[in-house]
Amino acid sequence: MTMSSFKIYLLAKLIKNKKFFILNVALFTAIFCLPIISSHAHFQVDPTNPYDQMQQYIKINNAKEPKILKLYVTAYSSTSEETDDTPCLTASGYDLCNHDLENVVACNFLPFGSQVIFPDLNPNKIYTVVDRMHKKYNSRLDIWMRDRQSARNFGLKYLTVEILP
């Protein structure tokens, strides 16, 4: 009997006796696989690993930054001459007169809820897009103000606009 035929004979014998076969598989697993598995059980990330350092670098440099544009900015108030027949309600349903805060803008190119800052006016004040303008003003922002005279005094300005992520 050659060595290869002897191996086949032993394998056939192991497979015929199911209990003995399962016991051998379990024993093989315990001897050869468990030390490998248990060595990874307490695995921790090595901060000196160059791949981990690269991941940290990518995470920091992919942080979203505000988009900065230079645009024409005007102002408007809740009067029937400047708006439709419901001057207090915006296109998003926001009630300007009820909230009475000068922190909202009308804009056609940003979605409702987008936030912008005008660093030239007040770098700490955040405005929210809640209204739309006439369709011919697709690259302009319109700041809401309480009274018409303040809006007229504001006029037309070319300002830096930071669109927050």
> By the 8 A CB rule, do 150 and 75 touch?
yes
How many of the other CB atoms lie within 10 Å of CB of 161? Answer: 22
What is the residue-averaged pLDDT of the chain?
78
pLDDT digits (tens, 9 = 90+) for 10-44: 667 666 766 776 776 776 666 665 555 444 444 44
Instruction: With CA atoms as reference, report the closest residue to 128 among 101, 100, 104, 106.
Output: 104
Q: How far apart are CA 6 and CA 152, in angstroms?
A: 101
Q: How confident is the model at residue 1 (pLDDT cuts 50, 70, 90)?
A: low
CA atoms within 13 A on the CB side of 98: 7
Domains of the chain: 1-42 (no CATH), 67-163 (2.40.40.10)
Q: How far apart are CA 138 and CA 82, in angstroms?
A: 17
Q: How far apart are CA 32 and CA 65, in angstroms?
A: 51
Share of the chain above pLDDT 70, in %: 63
pLDDT digits (tens, 9 = 90+) for 116-147: 999 999 999 999 999 998 888 888 999 999 88
Running DSSP on this structure, what letter comes out for residue 89? B
